Amino acid sequence: MSEPRQESLFPQGAGTRDRLRVVEMPPSLRREGALRASATVGATRTNVSRENQQRLAFPQQSADQVLSQDSTIYCDAPVALPVHRVMAAMLDGSMMLISLGIFLVIFHIAGAQIVLNKLTLPLYLGAALATLTLYRLLWCLADTDSIGMRWSGLRLITFDGVAPARQQRFYRLLTANLSLAAGGLGLLWGLVDEEQLTWHDHMSKTFPTPRARLLRYPQR
């Protein structure tokens, strides 16, 4: 029994005639093709990296947006009205005047003479300002609100709605003196400000607010 055989698909003699002929390229053409291929791959990788960089780029905020965020109150507590602020300042001022009056009475009883003229008047005004600063400094050291703010129903909080730290109270006292040194312009700024905040409110990021809801304030 003969074994099965697979006949050739191509007749004999056709392989040499129909076989594909491989032509070898010159070395210069091969080098030029390789350079073109590498340049194409490099450009593709550069475009991909640029697209990835653009996708990973974070949005940048302008300086106006940053300033507006820093000067924004985040809590829902209302800002004290200017009339209530003036009331608290007058009460604190009355406490200072009472202390100065007691000192002058003791000074007069001791036999000293009080003379008011162009030379002594600036000294007395400086002593009054120093006494007021010392009065407010004592409340900063105690880390609590002054008597005037308590009697007027106000309390001091931060833009986040929490009680300020002792360092913030000191910084508020310093910035309040700057508002006064500018001819009171820093205080008057609260009348035209959008949120009725003064200079030292913005700089210290603190503001007075009603201690209780006894004072009728609109909800934020």
Q: pLDDT tens digits for 89-130?
A: 999 989 888 888 888 888 888 887 777 788 888 888 888 888
Helix runs in 57-81, H state only = 63-70
Provide the 3-class DSSP secondary structure of residue 78. Answer: coil
Winning range, highest mean pLDDT, from 29-38, 40-49, 107-116, 210-219:
107-116
- The residue whose two tokens read 């000067």 is 71
pTM here?
Answer: 0.60
User: Which residue did the predictor score with more confidence, 68 or 146?
Assistant: 146
Residue 31, C-beta contacts closer than 8 angstroms, at least 6 positions apart: none
Buried b (16+ CB within 10 A) or exposed e, 10-33: eeeeeeeeeeeeeeeeeeeeeeee
The domain limits of the chain are 84-210
The pLDDT-based confidence of 200 (bands split at 50, 70, 90) is very high
Backbone angles phi, psi at 87, to 5 degrees: -60, -45
Q: Where are the beta strands (DSSP E) in the chain?
A: 154-158, 206-210
Q: What is the pLDDT of residue 172?
A: 95
Provide the 3-class DSSP secondary structure of residue 80. Answer: coil
